[in-house]
Amino acid sequence: MALRFISLISCLLLFRASLMDVALSQKAYVVYLGDGLTDLDEGSVKSLHSSLLGQVVTSEIGAAAERLIHSYTKSFNGFAALLSEEEAEALSEMNEVVSVFPSERRELHTTRSWNFMGFPTTSYRSVFESDVVIGMLDTGIWPESDSFDDTGFAPPPARWRGACEANHNFTCNNKVIGARFYHLNGNISDDNIASPRDSDGHGTHTASTAAGRLVPNASLAGLAEGTARGGVPSARLAVYKVCWDGEGCSDIDLLAAFDDAIADGVDVISLSIGSPISRPYFSDAIAIGSFHATKQGILVSSSAGNNGPSRSTVANFAPWMLTVAASTIDRKFVSFVELGDGHVFQGTAINTDGADGKLYPLIYGANAPNKSSPGSASRFCSSGSLDGQRSKGKVIFCDSLSTGSGPLRAGAVAAIMETDDSNDVAYEFDLPVSVLSANDSAIVRRYINSTSHPTARVFKSKGLFDGEAPYVVSFSSRGPNPVTPNILKPDLTAPGVDILAAWSPISVDKSSVTYNIISGTSMACPHVSGLAAYVKSFHPKWSPAAIKSALITTAFTMSTTKNADAEFAYGAGHVNPLSAINPGLVYDVETSDYVKFLCGQGYTAGELRKVTGDSSQCTEKNNGTVLHLNYPTFALSVPRGKQFSVTYHRTVTNVGVAKSTYAVNMTTPLGVEISVDPAVLSFEEVLEKKSFVVKVWGKMKNDSVSAALVWTDGIHKVRSPIVVYPSD
Ligand SMILES: *[C@@H]1O[C@H](CO)[C@@H](O)[C@H](O)[C@H]1NC(C)=O
Ligand SMILES: *[C@@H]1O[C@H](CO)[C@@H](O)[C@H](O)[C@H]1NC(C)=O
Ligand SMILES: *[C@@H]1O[C@H](CO)[C@@H](O)[C@H](O)[C@H]1NC(C)=O
Ligand SMILES: *[C@@H]1O[C@H](CO)[C@@H](O)[C@H](O)[C@H]1NC(C)=O
Ligand SMILES: *[C@@H]1O[C@H](CO)[C@@H](O)[C@H](O)[C@H]1NC(C)=O
Ligand SMILES: *[C@@H]1O[C@H](CO)[C@@H](O)[C@H](O)[C@H]1NC(C)=O
Ligand SMILES: *[C@@H]1O[C@H](CO)[C@@H](O)[C@H](O)[C@H]1NC(C)=O
Ligand SMILES: *[C@@H]1O[C@H](CO)[C@@H](O)[C@H](O)[C@H]1NC(C)=O
Ligand SMILES: *[C@@H]1O[C@H](CO)[C@@H](O)[C@H](O)[C@H]1NC(C)=O
């Protein structure tokens, strides 16, 4: 697949646009020029950008200089500019240019969670933890939170080159050692602050999950009470605010943040941001930024997305990224409902106050329509649909899930909502709510009909033990990989459901709280970012791929009984912090291996030379099939009913005991044959590499087949899942 200019507008629209004011048809584009910065100073790179732009921008439309929004000059080469579609197309034809794509808007996708995954406060820690810097690309941070108190912290590591753009009243400290913000195109709207300060809450939450210090007795109004902490409480944070309230996160800002974070010297980048649209690797700002980060030894840990449970929804699937799904922990929040007839139901929700334990009259939303707003569906309790007089002081039953703004506006004291989804996440609402299953809801509806004065009460939420945890939550995006079907994504799963962490007290969503409970793969990602930093603190020289391999091959295995999508839900399984620092063997990958892989994906030598900035060649010999990329997992897509037989090459590096012998142990399900040669690997030295060949053959039936290859020396278990699945 060639790196083509991506058009969002059809020819017809293009024709119409040319009839309108030309300025209107300009929008922000990224022009990506790859690497190749080594011989150039910043000034020369910028004048190169202006000159490229000057070749396509005609003077009657506006001077080239005015169209240049930003030059990326530190870690990779490119620029952002306001362009018409024709200009973008012209640029994409130029020799120097790898790709041109419109700047897209992206979405943002404790306490208990760490103990749950076998990582107690007392866990063994490296003295180098305080040298590790995690870069957070998010909504900023609330630096005054207790989670970011720097008492006892030494000054930043000497190699740190970042900056604190201390706008307004924002100041960094020895915990939050860097902070920048990016809003390159257009003015910052009034509900946002032109500063790294977080007015949303999301960035404060993810930063404290990755690296917040220990804060005893944290809770949301008593819920989830305990010690809040991040994965690496001694590590440093560098904040890059790229997401804005009401606007999302734009590609041109994301790339500017990558450009700086790489040059500043972060060790891990945590990115809880994505897009539901999948693109070729070098027309995707996140894939581009993370490729250059990986090339500089920085692991990018990212969220899989919240578009599950449909298949092929996974985002951030480039093989150089770590892609994290979201799963439950053993605490779930329930909200009990009691009816006047004594019936009690266990619903799901986070109520910090609950109606005060009294029974209130219960009505069905359908029976209280707002007469001034005919046609609005009061049975769903949408905002404005309910009659204030009839709803005031009552509990409203609603046929679907909503924020609760309808019942709140109508003066209700609480609401009961029906959902036919899996109901596996507890959300906060505008008033006390309990969310019930379709079956329980049917009983409530019958009760309302069967009595003249129905009543109900909704209680404050409780945290209950959930013995079925962990399982991947329904919203977590699923594989297979939409662009490279033979690379397994997501890579692994981590807690992302009902997570308590620090919050911005000026958040529009939930103001005046300093710790909040929210859910998303956004919450799972910083757990793994923190653990990547944890591994890095023990093994400062490991490559991003080695750290990634350690996290993947040591993951706790998960069961298909609660996860019908198996590896497409959880990848290799649930992250296992303590084993990840001692994996025994790692599957390492160098930049040149990614280049081989990309050759095999059809990218040309010319394109790859620009991207890598070196003399990368795509020759027949160098034409790496995806099967030989040294990935720590295996995926294979095959048409139904077809015989298949493939060979994978892999190389492991000994990072355990010098003299050690690993033997292979396979779990081979029916329908697929697997052989490994050699079946025993003997090492004499640390960092010694050994290669082996894996053959997988059989006939593709209707269902996916999961197997696993485990190298074991009796102590370590280096496990790689193998998934063979029908390609349609
Ligand atoms: C800093 O400024 C913001 C916005 O102006 C304000 O909301 C916030 O309370 C201030 N924070 C502190 C700690 O002074
Ligand atoms: C942005 O702000 C500047 C200066 O306040 C103003 O002149 C300009 O009109 C604003 N632009 C937009 C698009 O609002
Ligand atoms: C913990 O916080 C709760 C409420 O937030 C408070 O009632 C309680 O006294 C605190 N406990 C300790 C030991 O500080
Ligand atoms: C009922 O509808 C009218 C007209 O849309 C609206 O002004 C009013 O706020 C609604 N009442 C409630 C309680 O939502
Ligand atoms: C709901 O009720 C139906 C019919 O009684 C039953 O078959 C089904 O298993 C119930 N579902 C759940 C989730 O309990
Ligand atoms: C409740 O009663 C109404 C009319 O009396 C009827 O239309 C409706 O189907 C009944 N609902 C249930 C759940 O029984
Ligand atoms: C590499 O392999 C791909 C896919 O088989 C093919 O499209 C491409 O032309 C090959 N390139 C070279 C340089 O051999
Ligand atoms: C191989 O795997 C099986 C099943 O998982 C297990 O029972 C057995 O102990 C393993 N053998 C070795 C040598 O680890
Ligand atoms: C396999 O799938 C096809 C098409 O979805 C279906 O017609 C066939 O019955 C399935 N076979 C089995 C054994 O499930």
The span from the CA of 516 to the CA of 220, in Å, is 6
Percent of the chain with pLDDT over 70: 92
Taking the centre of ligand 7 as the mean of its atom positions, its distance from the CA of residue 611, in whole angstroms, is: 18
At residue 509 the predicted structure's pLDDT band, cuts being 50, 70 and 90, is confident
Cβ 343 under 6 angstroms from ligand 6: no
pLDDT for residue 715? 95
What are the b/e assignments for 515-532, b being 16+ CB within 10 Å?
bbbbbbbbbbbbbbbbbb
600 with 535, same domain: the answer is no
**What's the gap in Å between 216 CA and the centre of ligand 3?**
9
**Which atom of ligand 3 lies at the shortest distance from residue 221's CA?**
5
Chain centroid to CA 680: how far? 37
Q: For ligand 7, atom 8, name the residue with the nearest CA.
A: 602
Nearest-CA residue for ligand 4 atom 10 is 384
pLDDT at 361 over 60: yes
Which CATH number does the domain housing residue 533 bear?
3.40.50.200
Q: Is 618 in the pocket of ligand 7 (CB under 6 A)?
A: yes
CATH code of the domain in which 337 resides: 3.50.30.30
Query: Does a structural domain hold residue 14?
Result: no
Active site residue 399: no
**Residue 430 confidence class, pLDDT cut points 50, 70, 90:** confident
Per residue in 619-677, pLDDT (tens digit) is 766 667 889 999 999 999 999 999 999 999 999 999 999 999 999 999 888 789 999 99
* Digit-coded pLDDT (tens) for 433-475: 999 999 999 999 999 999 999 999 999 998 999 988 899 999 9
Task: Report CA(385)–ligand 4 centroid distance (Å).
Answer: 7
What confidence score (pLDDT) does residue 355 get?
63
Question: What pLDDT is recorded for position 186?
Answer: 86
Per cent of the chain over pLDDT 90 is 69
Assess if residue 248 is contained within a domain: yes
pLDDT at 9 over 70: no
The DSSP line for 537-586 is HH-TT--HHHHHHHHHHTPBP--SSS-TTTHHHHTT-B--HHHHT--SEE
Co-location of 95 and 119 in the same domain: no
Residue-averaged pLDDT of the chain: 89
Q: Provide the sign of the torsion angle of the four alpha carbons 127, 130, 133, 134, taken in this order.
A: positive
Output the pLDDT for position 367: 94
Task: Tell whether 316 and 433 lie within a shared domain.
Answer: no
CA of 192, nearest ligand number: 1
Atom of ligand 8 nearest to the CA of 717: 14
Token look-up 């922990």 returns: 329
50 in active site: no
Residue 585 and residue 653 in contact, taking contact as beta carbons nearer than 8 Å? yes
Rounded to two decimals, the pTM is: 0.90
CA distances from 90 to 71, 86, 99, 641 (A): 19, 6, 11, 46
Instruction: State the residue for tokens 């046609």.
Output: 375
Q: Is the pLDDT of residue 346 over 60?
A: yes
Q: Does a structural domain hold residue 560?
A: no
Cβ atoms of 501 and 331 closer than 8 Å: no
Residue 12 placed within a domain: no
* CATH at 681: 2.60.40.2310
In testing the pocket of ligand 8, which one of 556, 665, 680 has its CB within 8 Å of the most ligand atoms?
665
Judge contact between 244 and 257, C-beta under 8 A: no
Of 508, 533, 553, the domain-final residue: 553
Question: Where is average pLDDT lowest: 90-94, 117-121, 192-196, 506-510?
Answer: 117-121
Q: What is the Cα–Cα distance from 199 to 202, expressed in whole angstroms? A: 9
Cβ atoms 357, 335 nearer than 8 A: no
- Output the pLDDT for position 59: 58
pLDDT, tens digit, 9 for 90 and up, residues 126-142: 778 888 999 999 999 99
| Cβ neighbours, 10 Å, residue 367 | 13
Query: Is the domain of 170 the same as that of 304?
Result: yes
CB atoms within 10 A of CB 77: 26
Please tell me whether residues 509 and 549 are part of one structural domain. Answer: yes
Residue of the nearest CA to atom 9 in ligand 7? Answer: 602
Report whether residue 21 contacts ligand 7, using a CB cutoff of 6 Å: no
Span of 214-228, 289-303, 559-573, 615-629 with lowest mean pLDDT: 615-629
Ligand 2 geometric centre to CA of 680 (Å):
68
* 15: in domain: no
Residue at 85: amino acid letter:
E
Length of the chain: 728
Given 49, 109, 183, 202, the catalytic residue: 202
- Residue 133 inside a domain? The answer is yes
> Is residue 663 domain-shared with residue 688, that is, in the same domain?
yes
Tokens of 403: 């924020």
Asked if the structure places residue 98 within a domain, the reply is: yes
**Best substitution site from 184, 187, 188, 192 to test ligand 2's pocket, by max atoms within 8 Å of Cβ?**
187
Q: Annotated catalytic residue: which of 522, 529, 537, 549?
A: 522
Ligand nearest to the CA of 224: 3
**Boundaries of domain holding 419:** 332-464
Domain boundary among 464, 489, 515: 464
Task: Round to whole Å and give the CA distance between 181 and 253.
Answer: 9
- Give the pLDDT confidence score for residue 610 in this predicted structure: 76
Which candidate, 653, 652, 596, places its Cα nearest to that of 620? 596
Report whether residue 187 contacts ligand 2, using a CB cutoff of 6 Å: yes
Query: What separation in Å is there between the alpha carbon of 128 and the centre of ligand 1?
Result: 34
Q: Atom 9 in ligand 8: which residue has the minimum CA distance?
A: 665
Q: Are residues 293 and 356 in the same domain?
A: no
Asked whether residue 325 falls in the same domain as residue 351, the answer is no
The answer to whether residue 138 is catalytic is yes
Residue closest via CA to ligand 4's atom 11 equals: 384
Residue 219 CA, ligand 1 centroid: distance in Å: 23
pLDDT value, residue 534: 96
439: Cβ below 6 Å to ligand 5?
A: yes
Same domain, 322 and 336: no
Contact 495, 470 (CB under 8 A): yes
Q: Is residue 5 situated within a structural domain?
A: no
**pLDDT tens, position by position, 110-120:** 444 555 555 56
User: Is the same domain home to 324 and 375?
Assistant: no
Q: Is 336 exposed, middle or buried (0-12, 13-18, 19+ CB in 10 A)?
A: middle
Domain count, the chain: 4
Q: Tell me which of 464, 487, 515 is where a domain ends.
A: 464
Q: Which among 35, 138, 387, 440 is annotated as catalytic?
A: 138
Q: Which residue has the higher pLDDT, 1 or 338?
A: 338
Residue 410 pLDDT class (50, 70, 90 cuts)? very high
Q: Indicate whether 636 and 594 sit together in one domain.
A: yes
The C-alpha atoms of residue 649 and residue 594 are separated, in whole angstroms, by 14
Q: Tens of pLDDT along 370-382? A: 999 887 789 999 9
105 Cβ below 6 A of ligand 1 = no
Q: Which one, of 242, 275, 285, 238, lies nearest residue 139 by Cα?
A: 242
- Tell me what pLDDT residue 122 has: 64
> pLDDT tens-digit profile of 281-334?
988 999 999 999 999 999 999 999 998 899 999 999 999 999 999 999 989 999
The ligand with the least distance to the CA atom of 421 is 5
CA of 526 to the centre of ligand 1 (A): 26
Ligand 7: distance of its center to the CA of 287 in Å?
22
Segment 546-562 shows an average pLDDT of 95
Q: Cβ distance 362 to 395 under 8 Å?
A: yes
Q: Which residue has the higher pLDDT, 226 or 614?
A: 226
Our CA angle for 421, 423, 425, nearest 5°, is 130
Ligand 8-lining residues (CB < 6 angstroms): 665, 667, 712
Closest ligand by atom to 228 CA: 3
Same domain? 146 vs 232: yes
Q: How far is the CA of 606 from the centre of ligand 7 (A)?
A: 13
Nearest bound ligand to the CA of residue 624: 7
The pLDDT assigned to 484 comes to 95
- CA-to-CA distance for 98 and 35, rounded, in angstroms? 10
pLDDT for 72 equals 94
* Comparison of pLDDT for 186 and 65, the residue scoring more: 186
